[in-house]
Each structure stands twice: as structure tokens, then as C-alpha cells.
């Protein structure tokens, strides 16, 4: 699965870029029909999407960054650990719109910002339940892991790319996930670790 997704990386990023640019410019959402991206934008009209993305389904996290004063800073993010669309292409479009328009931590992306944006897609897979008492599990040593903390209706995530330079430990990722979800360790939350493919 991961190798096939890597081969589709150019298509994946093109779907994200086209969706953000079209939606931010005209508040229209492109659609994929019969493997073709349908939109009014001449830069993307008729783009043929890799069939692997229309015949399979995966969850994605879409992240948008903006270059400001020579530095890349977060501009929006949206994603889930499961897909809510009929295929991977549609899920990319769904989360791209969410990242540029529905992330409550940011104002909607404006057309004038588009030349300064870059994109990252994270694909979570191999979800595995863990516990605070026993952190020795199969993917612990892998840097490219994320953590989900869950207690009733509250959820918090930690993604590996929060801090690539310092290479966060599993314990630190758990702490971040708990903090992001407003969950205390003493509440005995459910914890899950998962691998991440970065595109």
C-alpha cells in the first residue's frame, strides 16, 4: 500500500493544490468523475487522476504551510484516521477544503496567499492500541508514528512531523496527544499509535 501511494505522490499533491486554489479563488469544489478532475480552472481541467486513488480508499491529513519572512509556518490542517468518502481521491478533496476553509485555528485561505503556499499529506496506517503501562510495541522505534488519545467524546492527536528535528519520544507524543485533547493521564484514556507515510 505505501509503495503504491508513494508512486501516486505527484497526483496526490496536485489534487490538494488544485482543490485549495479553486476553492479559495471561487468557492467551488472540484470533483473526480471517471478518473478526470472536473473543474473550471484551466490549470487543472482534464487532469487524469491515477486509478489507484479512485479504486481504493485511505484516510489522509492535509496540511497547508505558508512562507512568511523566509520561514514555512502552518496555515491550515484537516484529516482523520478513517476515510469519510467513497475513495481516496474524494477524501483528499474533502480534507483539502477543510484545511483551507474549515480549520478553526485559522482564518480561511485567501486567493492572494496562494503563491506562498505549500502542501503536505500524511497517510496514517497500522493503528495499534497501546497503554501507559506497556509502551513496548511493534512500531515504538519508528520515528514516523503518531498517537491518538481518546476519552469519551474528547480526542487528541500527535503527528510525528510536529517536531522532526528533535525526534519526539513516544512518551512525549502521548503527552502532546493528551494535551491536545484536554485529557488527563489519570482519566485512563484509550491510546493508539499508528505509522505515518509522509507525502
In tens, the pLDDT along 157-187 reads 888 654 455 577 788 888 999 998 999 989 9
Give the C-alpha separation, 96 to 99, whole Å.
5
Categorize the per-residue pLDDT at 142 as very low, low, confident or very high, splitting at 50, 70 and 90.
low
Q: Cell 481504493 identifies what position?
A: 56
Name, in order, each residue with C-beta under 8 angstroms of 22's C-beta and a sequence gap of 6 or more: 28, 29, 30, 39, 40, 41, 44
Give the C-alpha separation, 130 to 125, whole Å.
15
Q: Can you give the pLDDT at residue 162?
A: 47
In tens, the pLDDT along 103-125 reads 998 999 999 999 999 999 999 99
Instruction: Note the pTM of the prediction, 2 decimals.
Output: 0.86
Q: In 17-116, where do the E strands start and end?
A: 31-33, 36-38, 61-68, 71-79
Q: Can you give the pLDDT at residue 130?
A: 86
Cell numbers placing 9: 505522490
Cα dihedral 101/11/127/169 (nearest 10): -80
Categorize the per-residue pLDDT at 77 as very low, low, confident or very high, splitting at 50, 70 and 90.
very high
In tens, the pLDDT along 9-38 reads 999 999 999 999 999 999 999 999 999 999
Categorize the per-residue pLDDT at 143 as very low, low, confident or very high, splitting at 50, 70 and 90.
low
Q: Can you give the pLDDT at residue 165?
A: 52
Q: Quick check: 49 pLDDT over 50? A: yes
Give the C-alpha separation, 161 to 130, whole Å.
20
How many residues appear in the chain? 199
Q: Quick check: 141 pLDDT over 60? A: no
State mean pLDDT over 36-44: 89
In tens, the pLDDT along 188-198 reads 999 998 988 99
Q: Can you give the pLDDT at residue 86?
A: 96
State mean pLDDT over 55-63: 95
Amino acid at each position: 500500500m505505501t509503495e503504491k501511494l508513494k508512486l501516486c505522490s505527484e497526483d496526490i499533491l496536485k489534487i490538494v493544490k488544485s482543490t485549495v486554489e479553486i476553492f479559495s479563488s471561487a468557492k467551488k469544489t472540484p470533483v473526480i468523475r471517471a478518473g478526470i478532475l472536473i473543474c473550471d480552472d484551466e490549470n487543472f481541467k482534464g487532469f487524469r487522476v491515477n486509478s489507484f486513488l479512485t479504486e481504493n480508499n485511505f484516510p489522509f491529513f492535509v496540511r497547508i504551510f505558508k512562507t512568511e519572512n523566509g520561514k514555512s509556518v502552518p496555515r491550515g490542517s484537516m484529516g482523520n484516521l478513517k476515510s469519510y468518502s467513497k475513495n481516496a481521491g474524494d477524501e483528499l478533496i474533502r480534507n483539502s477544503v477543510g484545511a483551507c476553509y474549515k480549520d478553526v485555528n485559522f482564518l480561511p485561505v485567501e486567493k492572494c496567499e496562494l503563491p506562498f503556499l505549500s502542501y503536505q499529506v500524511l497517510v496514517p496506517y497500522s493503528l495499534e492500541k497501546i497503554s501507559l503501562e506497556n509502551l513496548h510495541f511493534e512500531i515504538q522505534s519508528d520515528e514516523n508514528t503518531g498517537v491518538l488519545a481518546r476519552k469519551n467524546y474528547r480526542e487528541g492527536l500527535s503527528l510525528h512531523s510536529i517536531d522532526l528535528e528533535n525526534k519526539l519520544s513516544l512518551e512525549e507524543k502521548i503527552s502532546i496527544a493528551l494535551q491536545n485533547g484536554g485529557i488527563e493521564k489519570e482519566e485512563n484514556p484509550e491510546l493508539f499509535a499508528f505509522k505515518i507515510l509522509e507525502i
